[in-house]
Amino acid sequence: MNFEIGKNLLDKTSADVALVFAFESKKSYKLTPAVDVLDLALKKSITNGLDFENFAGKDAEVFSTFTNNVIVPKKIAVVGLGKKEELTPHKLRQTVAKFARSLNKKVNSVSVALLDDVKISHPEQVQMIAEGFLTGSYRFSEYLKKEKTERELEAVIFTGVAAKEKKETEERFAFVQMVYGAVKLARDLINEPGMKVTPEVLSKQARDIAKSSPQISVQVYNRAQCEKMGMGAFLGVARGSEQEPQFVHLTYKPKSTRNKRKLAIVGKAITFDTGGLSLKPSKYMVNMKLDMSGAAAILGLFSIITKLQPEFEVMGIFAATPNVISANAYTPDDVLRAMNGKTIEIINTDAEGRVTLADSLSYAVKQGATEIVDLATLTGAMIMALGEDYTGLFGNNEKFKQEILAAYKKSGEKVWEMPLPQEYKQHNKSEIADVANLASNMWGGAITAALFLEEFVDETPWVHLDIAGPAFAEHNNELSPKGGTGHGVSTLVYLVKGDLK
Ligand code: BES
Ligand code: ZN
Ligand code: ZN
C-alpha cells in the first residue's frame, strides 16, 4: 500500500473511492466542507441519499454512492466520526481501520480529504488514517487459495495537505510503514500454526534480524547449553517436546556508549500451549498458537530497531518451546530449579508461562539489565479481570511503570494498571520448594502469577504486561481482523524511542 499527497482537490483526484467524513450533531449529521463541495457537483445526491438513509454521522457509520462519472472519483463514501468534540486521534484511526476492512476487494485506490477545524493537526491525521488503512487491511491469507489471488488496496491519496505540511506528512508516511512492517511480522508469526512456527523458526527469525545490521547480535542456546546455564525451569517445560528448545538473546547496541541504560525486553514464547499433562479442555486449547505473542512483539521491534536508533542498549530475550505431552513431559509434583537457584513446585503444568519466564527473567538480571519489561500471554484470569482488549500492567517501580504507561498512551494500545500486593504472596507458598507455580486460592490469578514472576527479578525495576487478552482477537475487532494483533509492538517502539515523528 502506497501513501501519496494528492495535487488536486478531492473531486479531481483519480481514485476508486473518495473518503469524506461527517460528524454527528444534535439534530442529524454535520458534513465536512469537503462533502459540501462534492454534493454540489453531484446535484445533492449525497445529502439526498444521507437523508433517505437516516444517516446520523455516528461512529463508523458509512454511506456510499456512485458518482456516475460526473466527478473523477468513481464512488463517494461518507464515514461518520461521532461527535466532533469527542474526536480523538485513536478514534480516527479506529474508524478508518473499520472502513478499510469493509472495502470491496476490487477497490484499488482511495482518496481522502483531511479534516480542518479539528484539534488534530494534519500530519497527525495523516498518521492515524494511514495506520488505520494498514492495520485494518491486514489479512493472514497464507492458506487461502482464493484470497491470495485478490488484490490489495494499492494507494491512499491524501488531499488538503498544505505545501508547508508536505515534509512532515512524508515523514509520517515512512514512520507508519515502518511500524506496520513490524506489526505485520508479529501478526504473521502469531497466526502461523505452532507446528510451523517452532522454537527453531523463532530463533532463525532472530538470527536473520541480527544478520541485517552490525548493531544487532544474537545468541541462541539449545537444550544442552541451557542445561549448562542452570535453566532447570525452562527445560522442565521443554521436556515434553522433541523440538529443540531455543533460548534467544538479541542485543541492540547504540553507536555511542555514553548511555549506560540496558533495557531488557522479555517475552513469553510458548509456540503452542496444550496445557501439558494438566491438559486444557479442547475448547480452551484452540488458538493457543497465540502463546508466543510476547516473543513476536520482540521480533517485530527488533526488525526495525536500527531504524529507530535508541540511544541505549536493548536486549530481547525469550525462551521458546511448546508445552506438550510425551512420556517425558514434566508433571505435577515435579520440582524444578531456576537459573537464580530458586526451586519451583509444579502444581499445574498449564501454568507453564511463569515457569519459563522464571529463567528468562533470571537471565535478564544476570545480564545486568537496568530495567526489565516482560510481555506474556500469561493468564486467562487477566482476561476475566479486564476483558479482551486491555493489557494488565504490574510493576515494582513507580517511575518505570509511568514510563511504560506513557509509551502506551502514545501508541493508543489499551492498558490498565493492576496492583501487586505483597500480602498475596503467601498464596504462592510451597511446602517443599521456594515457590509453587499455582496459587493455593482461586482468586486474582493474574496477580498471583505476577507475584510469582517478581521472585525472579531481584531488585531490578520491572514491569510485567499480561497481554493474554489483546494479543489475539477472537473476532474481528477495531484495529485487526480475527487472529494475532501484534499488540505491544507499537508501544515498544515508543518506549525505546520516545517521540518519533
Ligand atoms: N497461555 C495460557 C494463558 C492464556 C489463556 C492466554 C487464554 C491467552 C488466552 C497460560 O499458560 C495458562 O494456561 N494459564 C492458566 C493458568 C492456570 C493453570 C493457573 C489459565 O489462565 O487458566
Ligand atoms: Zn498454560
Ligand atoms: Zn501458556
Read off the pLDDT of residues 43-64 as tens digits, 9 standing for 90 and up: 999 999 999 999 999 998 999 9
Which protein residue has the closest C-alpha to ligand 1 atom 14? 379
According to DSSP, the β-strands at 62-66 and 75-83 are antiparallel
Residue 18 CB neighbour total at 10 angstroms: 29
pLDDT for 349 beyond 90: yes
| Ligand 1, atom nearest to 353 Cα | 11
Pocket of ligand 1 contains residue 353 by CB under 6 Å: yes
Q: What pTM was computed for the model?
A: 0.97
Residue 152 CB neighbour total at 10 angstroms: 13
| Ligand 1, atom nearest to 278 Cα | 18
Q: With pLDDT > 90 as the criterion, what percentage of the chain qualifies? A: 92
**Ligand 1 centroid – CA 468 distance (Å):** 8
Q: How would DSSP label each residue in 55-77?
A: ----TT-EEEEE-TTSSSSSEEE
The stretch 125-133 carries a mean pLDDT of 98
Name the grid cell of 118: 479539528
The stretch 168-192 carries a mean pLDDT of 98
191-197 long-range contacts, Cβ below 8 Å, gap at least 24?
191/140, 191/142, 191/289, 191/483, 191/484, 192/142, 192/289, 193/272, 193/289, 194/271, 194/272, 194/288, 194/289, 194/292, 194/322, 195/272, 197/271, 197/289, 197/292
Q: Cell 513446585 maps to which residue?
A: 345
Pocket of ligand 1 contains residue 348 by CB under 6 Å: yes
Residue 475 CB neighbour total at 10 angstroms: 8
**Ligand 3 centroid – CA 290 distance (Å):** 9
**Ligand 3 centroid – CA 375 distance (Å):** 12
| Ligand 1, atom nearest to 381 Cα | 21
The stretch 467-487 carries a mean pLDDT of 93
Pocket of ligand 1 contains residue 369 by CB under 6 Å: no
Q: Is 181 exposed, middle or buried (0-12, 13-18, 19+ CB in 10 A)?
A: middle
Which protein residue has the closest C-alpha to ligand 1 atom 17? 351
Q: Which neighbouring-strand residues pair with 249?
A: 219, 317
Who's near 358: CB < 8 A, 6+ residues apart?
233, 234, 338, 339, 340, 342, 344, 452, 453, 455, 456
pLDDT digits (tens, 9 = 90+) for 222-257: 999 999 999 999 999 999 999 999 999 999 999 999
Angle between helices 489-497 and 293-308 (to 10 degrees): 40
Who's near 149: CB < 8 A, 6+ residues apart?
none
pLDDT for 72 beyond 70: yes
Question: What is the C-alpha to C-alpha distance for residues 5 and 159, in angstroms, rounded to an integer?
Answer: 6
DSSP alpha helix (H) spans, 42-88: 45-52
Average pLDDT across the chain, whole number: 96
Pocket of ligand 1 contains residue 468 by CB under 6 Å: yes
Question: What is the C-alpha to C-alpha distance for residues 64 and 108, in angstroms, rounded to an integer?
Answer: 16
Pocket of ligand 1 contains residue 345 by CB under 6 Å: no
- Residues acting as catalytic residues: 280, 354
| Ligand 1, atom nearest to 377 Cα | 6
**Ligand 2 centroid – CA 280 distance (Å):** 8
Confidence class for position 150, pLDDT limits 50, 70, 90: low
CA atoms within 13 A on the CB side of 35: 26
pLDDT on residue 500: 55
pLDDT on residue 480: 87
Q: Phi first, then psi: give them for residue 314, nearest 5 degrees.
A: -125, 125
Cβ pair 102, 45 in contact under 8 A: no
pLDDT digits (tens, 9 = 90+) for 373-406: 999 999 999 999 999 999 999 999 999 999 999 9
By most ligand atoms within 8 Å of CB, the mutation choice from 350, 375, 427, 448 for ligand 1 is 350
For residue 424, the 8-state DSSP code is G
| Ligand 1, atom nearest to 288 Cα | 1
Name the grid cell of 112: 481522502
Q: With pLDDT > 70 as the criterion, what percentage of the chain qualifies? A: 99
First-residue to last-residue Cα distance in the chain: 20
Who's near 494: CB < 8 A, 6+ residues apart?
406, 407, 410, 411, 500
pLDDT on residue 152: 83
The ligand placed nearest to the CA atom of residue 384 is: 1
pLDDT on residue 187: 98
pLDDT on residue 145: 78
The ligand placed nearest to the CA atom of residue 270 is: 3
Q: Which neighbouring-strand residues pair with 80?
A: 22
| Ligand 1, atom nearest to 275 Cα | 13
Name the grid cell of 225: 547449553
Confidence class for position 147, pLDDT limits 50, 70, 90: low
Cβ pair 420, 447 in contact under 8 A: yes
pLDDT digits (tens, 9 = 90+) for 281-340: 999 999 999 999 999 999 999 999 999 999 999 999 999 999 999 999 999 999 999 999
Pocket of ligand 1 contains residue 379 by CB under 6 Å: yes
**Ligand 1 centroid – CA 429 distance (Å):** 20
Question: What is the C-alpha to C-alpha distance for residues 39 and 338, in angstroms, rounded to an integer?
Answer: 68
**Ligand 3 centroid – CA 449 distance (Å):** 12
**Ligand 2 centroid – CA 350 distance (Å):** 4
The stretch 153-159 carries a mean pLDDT of 96
Question: What is the C-alpha to C-alpha distance for residues 65 and 38, in angstroms, rounded to an integer?
Answer: 11
Pocket of ligand 1 contains residue 287 by CB under 6 Å: no
pLDDT digits (tens, 9 = 90+) for 16-46: 999 999 999 988 899 888 888 899 999 999 9
Pocket of ligand 1 contains residue 349 by CB under 6 Å: no
Pocket of ligand 1 contains residue 332 by CB under 6 Å: no
Pocket of ligand 1 contains residue 352 by CB under 6 Å: yes
pLDDT on residue 148: 58
pLDDT for 490 beyond 50: yes
**Ligand 1 centroid – CA 166 distance (Å):** 48
CA atoms within 13 A on the CB side of 23: 16
The ligand placed nearest to the CA atom of residue 379 is: 1
pLDDT on residue 501: 47
